[in-house]
Every structure is written in C-alpha cells, then in structure tokens.
Chains A and B, each alone.
Chain A
Amino acid sequence: MKLLRDTWLVFGRYFGLFIRNPAWVALGVLQPLLYLVLFAPLLKSIASAPGFPSGGAYNVFVPGLLVQLGMFGAAGVGFSLVSELRMGVIERLRVTPVSRVSLLLGRALRDMVSIVVQSLILILLSLPFGLSIHPFGVVVVLALIALIGLLTASIAYAVALWARNENTYASIIFTATLPILLLSGVLLPLGLAPQWLRNIAALNPLSYAVDAARAVFNDHLSDPSVTKGVAIMLVLSIVAIVIGARSFGRAVA
C-alpha cells in the first residue's frame, strides 16, 4: 500500500516535470521517423532477398524501430538523474521515509509512459507508408515496448547512480546500447546474417523482443516467439527494478 502510494507520488512529480516539456516527446519520435522516411525505402528493394522475412518491408522494419525506440528512448534518462544528484534532490528524497523501490519505479514508469506514447505516434505515422497491424496486435506490441522501456530505464538509473557524472554515464550507456541493438536484428533481420552472427545474437535478450514484435506485426499472435519475448522482457524488467531500487538505497551523492 505504501509502495503504491509512494510510487504514485514519485510518478506524479516526474510526470508533471515531463509534460511541462512536451518537446521531448516530439524529439523522441523524430529519430525513428527519420529512419522510417530515409532508411526504410532501401529495404523495399531487398525485401525479396533470401532470408528476409515475409510481410513486407514496413511490417518487418517498424517492429525493429519500435524496439529501438524503447531502448534508446530510455537509455538517456539517467542524465536528469545525474543533475538531480548534483542539486541534492536525490539526497533530500532519500532522507524521507519514501520507499526506495518507489524512487526508482515512479521515475521508470514515467519513462515507460513516455515511450508508449512515442511508440503509438510512430505506429500511426507508419500506417500511410503501408504498415498494417491488427488493433489487438498494437496493444501487445505496446506492452512489449513498455517492458523494454522499463527495463532500460531501470538499468540506466542504476548506471547513473553509480557513475554520478554525465561523461562516465554517457560512455557506459552508449558503448553498451550499440552492440545490443546491432545484435538484436533491429535494422535488418538476423535471417540475413551469417551463422556466427546469429549465434551471438541468440545470447542477446533483446533479439527475442524483436522476434516477438515482428511476429505480432505479421499477425502471428499465437506464435511461441511472442510469449517468449514478452516473458524474457518481463523477467529482466523485474531484475532491473530490483537492481535499480537497491542503487537508490545505497546512492551516495
């Protein structure tokens, strides 16, 4: 009960800060939109290549973009935490009886909401390009992206609390996210990849999320890869929340 109340309070604070700056939503959508306009057309000509999944270029590419949005959109959230550490905000909150889990979860849920909104905008903007998706599929995909956002944000906060300055934080986050994204088949399906690359990708949890998202966009909602992708993201999110909350408990400003 206290956990829910505290989480709601913390969420309210950060959501309030967020909606005062709606430009961030637009900026978050801008990058995937550029991919959609400037990169996706290239895929049309290789959609017939062997190893490229069926369903049309956009139905293959947009799920990857959404996963990328979920991860990149949440990877940068630690910057604001670093500046709050410097301003003493985190120390001030930690000296109150507020739940440490709520300090993490309230913020991460705000990030999750922002990513879901951005994802929805991206899906709607993709429709004119030839994307087709079942409304229920949209719900499943948004849930999956929400989990990716929650997972990434929780880890990003833990890293920020550990790094305590922008430069260290940025180098860790950007060094880590790039290989994870490349090895998940976000831009091009891993079906095109040589076997060794596919073997490495199989160790990357995010590649299962991409598989799940693509299956949903191909109307294969009952495909086992969907359940598998969602389950993996769910378990990892819980682990990340625990790690993030522990970091808030220990944080030293």
Chain B
Amino acid sequence: MFKTRKRVVEAVAGVDLSVRRGEIFGFLGPNGAGKTTTLRMLATLLPPSGGAASVAGCDLQTQAGRIRERIGYVGQAGGSDPEITGRRELVFQARLYGMSLGAAQKRAAELITMLELEICADRAAKTYSGGQKRRLDIGLGLVHDPQLLFLDEPTTGLDPQSRARVWDEVRRMHDRGTTVFLTTHYLDEADALCDRIAIIDYGKIVAEGTPEELKRAVAGDVVTLTVAGDQQRALDVIKDEPFVREAKLDEGSVLLYVDRGEVAMPAILRLLDTKGLTLQTIGLHRPSLDDVFLRQTGRSLRETAA
C-alpha cells in the first residue's frame, strides 16, 4: 500500500517499510520510539524533512491533498469536541469530505449503528464513557470510508472490555477491505490483531514480519529462573553451558534462550544443585513478542512502556 524511505535526524531515522493493501499493520514500540511521528508524517500532518513515501498510491511530498481524501486518521487524543454531540461531529466531519447535508446525515446514522453509539449519539461527547468516546473518534476517521486508516494507540487507556470492542471494530474494517495501520505499545495487541508488525525503537525499525515469523526468529524456548541470593551468580554458572544460546539478566531474573526447553531444564536443575544455588522459581515459555523486542533492543518492552 505504501513504501517509505525516511532519513529524519531526530525523531525518526531509518524507517523503511511497506504495508500491503488490506492488511492490519502494527507499529510496535515503546513510548517515544517515533511511532506517532511516523504516523503523523504519513497522514500529511507533519512535513518530513527528507525521504520519500507513497501513501494510498499517492506521493506524500506532492499529493498531500489526494492522500487526505483517501485516508482516515485517529490520533491519540481522539479529536471530538466534548461540548458537541457525537451525531453533529459525524455529520460535520462527513460534510468536510464534500458530502451534502442529507448524505452526511445518512452516513452519520450508519456509523452510529455500526459503532453501537445509539444511546449516546445525541448527547454531548463529554458525557461519554472512555469506550464510547474512542468509538466516536474511530467513526470520525471512517466517515468517508477511507482505503487506509491510521490508528494511533487506539486502545491506550481503555478498560479490557472496551479494548476488545475496539479490536472487533478493527477486524471488521479489515473484513471490509480497509487497510489499517496502527501503533501500539501492547504486545498482546500487536500479536492478536496484526497481520504484520514492525518493531521500532529510537526511530529505527529493528524487526519486521508476521508475529509468527518474528517469534520464530527468536529460536528455541525461553527459560526464566530465579535463585536465592545473587542472580548474577546463577547467570555466571549457566551462561557458558553448550545448550544455552544466550543468557541475560532481566527484571531480577535470569533469562535463557535455549534450543529445547524440556532437555535444558533438568540440566539446569542439576547444575544449580551441584553449585549449591537454591532455585526459587523456574518457568519455560515459547518466545513472545517481548522476547523479540528484548533480543533486538536489549531492553524489555514492558519496562520501557511503563
């Protein structure tokens, strides 16, 4: 759907990616990684200081006007006015895209039904719950049925139930053929929702692919353990064993990337025992996107996002 080649010094440098028509593409990274900046540039809100991008088939540098007709953008803050009713906002937004009053009212009514905003559509938006407001904001981005929708952290600050509603909404857009480009700092969101993901850190893409591909790149299994006393001692004991591909300390526990967890675990237990270290906890799990992030950046996304 679009390609971009950016070389912006401060916020975003080395973002080079392509999103295919009709997919849900996730931009995953900690706060301040450059996700929003990239999104703003692609949505024509921020002029890139260099590089090139093609968005919805149009050139970002020369055809911003045509891009605006084809894309929708829902920013983190939302964009609806608390004093105005949801219906009025939707009608106004539709008219900005050139619809007649009648067509705009019809479209607003469709979106209100689709997003299940009937009970609050004629109240001022300041009375909305967090989930209702977010659905209204998404509706504002959808009035002109864009080919491509940008969602900047669509579920940040929402309760789990509202979050699930937004996910459903995104999947429905996807089913209708809309390309969705969203940013998130939630791993589970990227994992559950996105067809493909790019991981961004310090303005650079550090990994790109389907969630499965990315997880497969972190080969083998992940063993997490803690011992009584100093974790560093346990790390020193284990890290040079042949079955360990990589070992590091993370959030007060020892993290080991191993080929086969079920074989490594008994060996680890024996080793710690002979060295007189008391094992407190041990766990085995398949790699998650957090492991991907940790491998690529050396930091855990969980601690960075907090």
Q: With CB as the reference atom, state the residue of chain A lying closest to B47.
A: A250
Q: With CB as the reference atom, state the residue of chain B lying closest to A90.
A: B79
Q: Annotate B45-73 by CB proximity to A: 1 below 8 A, 0 otherwise.
A: 11100000000000000000100110111
Please judge, given known A-B contacts A17-B81, A87-B81, whether A98 and B96 are in contact too, CB under 8 Å: yes
Q: Which of A17-45 contact B (CB under 8 A)?
A: 17, 20
What residues of chain B lie closer than 8 Å to A84, measured between beta carbons? Answer: 81
- Name the distance in Å between A85's Cβ and chain B's nearest Cβ: 9
Q: Annotate A69-100 by CB proximity to B: 1 below 8 A, 0 otherwise.
A: 00000000000000010111101111111100
Q: Annotate B34-54 by CB proximity to A: 1 below 8 A, 0 otherwise.
A: 000000100111110000000
Q: Which of B67-113 contact A (CB under 8 A)?
A: 68-69, 71-84, 88, 92-93, 95-98
What residues of chain B lie closer than 8 Å to A92, measured between beta carbons? Answer: 73-75, 78-80, 93, 140
What residues of chain A lie closer than 8 Å to B137, measured between beta carbons? Answer: 88
Q: In the complex the two chains form, is B75's CB within 8 Å of A88's CB?
A: yes
- Name the distance in Å between B41's Cβ and chain A's nearest Cβ: 11
Bound Cα distance from A88 to B97, whole angstroms: 18
Interface centre among B75, B79, B93 (most CB of A within 10 A): B79
Q: In the complex the two chains form, is A17's CB within 8 Å of B71's CB?
A: no
A6 at the interface (CB under 8 A from B): yes
What residues of chain A lie closer than 8 Å to B65, measured between beta carbons? Answer: 97
Q: In the complex the two chains form, is A6's CB within 8 Å of B96's CB?
A: yes
What residues of chain A lie closer than 8 Å to B72, measured between beta carbons? Answer: 95
A138 at the interface (CB under 8 A from B): no
Bound Cα distance from A95 to B41, whole angstroms: 11
- Name the distance in Å between B139's Cβ and chain A's nearest Cβ: 11
Q: With CB as the reference atom, state the residue of chain B lying closest to A20.
A: B83
What residues of chain B lie closer than 8 Å to A88, measured between beta carbons? Answer: 75-79, 137
- Name the distance in Å between B111's Cβ and chain A's nearest Cβ: 15
Q: Report the contact-size class of chain A (Cβ under 8 Å from the partner).
A: 20 to 34
**Count the A-B residue pairs with Cβ separation under 8 angstroms: how many?**
71
Bound Cα distance from A94 to B67, whole angstroms: 12
Q: In the complex the two chains form, is B71's CB within 8 Å of A86's CB?
A: no
What residues of chain A lie closer than 8 Å to B140, measured between beta carbons? Answer: 92
Q: In the complex the two chains form, is B93's CB within 8 Å of A96's CB?
A: yes
> Of A86, A89, A97, which is within 8 A of B80 by CB?
A89
Q: Which of A102-153 contact B (CB under 8 A)?
A: none
Bound Cα distance from A16 to B81, whole angstroms: 12
> Of B69, B77, B88, which is within 8 A of A87 by CB?
B77
What residues of chain B lie closer than 8 Å to A86, measured between beta carbons? Answer: 77
Interface centre among A16, A86, A91 (most CB of B within 10 A): A91
Q: In the complex the two chains form, is A95's CB within 8 Å of B68's CB?
A: yes
What residues of chain A lie closer than 8 Å to B97, measured between beta carbons? Answer: 96-97
A246 at the interface (CB under 8 A from B): no
What residues of chain B lie closer than 8 Å to A93, measured between beta carbons? Answer: 79, 96
Q: Annotate A233-253 by CB proximity to B: 1 below 8 A, 0 otherwise.
A: 000000000000000001011
Q: In the complex the two chains form, is B78's CB within 8 Å of A87's CB?
A: yes
Q: Annotate B185-202 by CB proximity to A: 1 below 8 A, 0 otherwise.
A: 000000000000000000
What residues of chain A lie closer than 8 Å to B71, measured between beta carbons? Answer: 95
Q: With CB as the reference atom, state the residue of chain B lying closest to A93.
A: B96
Q: In the complex the two chains form, is B96's CB within 8 Å of A96's CB?
A: yes
Q: Annotate A214-225 by CB proximity to B: 1 below 8 A, 0 otherwise.
A: 000000000000
What residues of chain A lie closer than 8 Å to B78, measured between beta carbons? Answer: 87-88, 92
> Of B45, B68, B81, which is within 8 A of A91 by CB?
B45
Bound Cα distance from A98 to B44, whole angstroms: 13
Q: In the complex the two chains form, is A9's CB within 8 Å of B96's CB?
A: yes
- Name the distance in Å between A101's Cβ and chain B's nearest Cβ: 14
Bound Cα distance from A12 to B40, whole angstroms: 28
> Of A9, A94, A252, A253, which is within 8 A of B92 by CB?
A9
Q: In the complex the two chains form, is A252's CB within 8 Å of B45's CB?
A: yes
Q: In the complex the two chains form, is A95's CB within 8 Å of B43's CB?
A: yes
What residues of chain A lie closer than 8 Å to B45, measured between beta carbons? Answer: 91, 94-95, 252-253
Q: With CB as the reference atom, state the residue of chain B lying closest to A2.
A: B98
26 A-B residue pairs with Cβ-Cβ distance under 8 Å, sorted by A, are: A12-B92, A13-B92, A20-B83, A87-B77, A87-B80, A87-B81, A88-B75, A88-B78, A89-B79, A91-B73, A91-B77, A92-B73, A92-B78, A92-B80, A92-B140, A93-B79, A95-B43, A95-B45, A95-B72, A95-B73, A96-B68, A96-B96, A96-B97, A97-B65, A250-B47, A253-B45
Known A-B contacts: A91-B73, A96-B96. Give 7 more (CB < 8 A).
Answer: A6-B96, A87-B79, A87-B82, A88-B75, A92-B79, A250-B47, A253-B77
List 5 tightest A-B contacts by C-beta distance, closest first: A92-B79, A88-B77, A88-B79, A95-B73, A96-B96
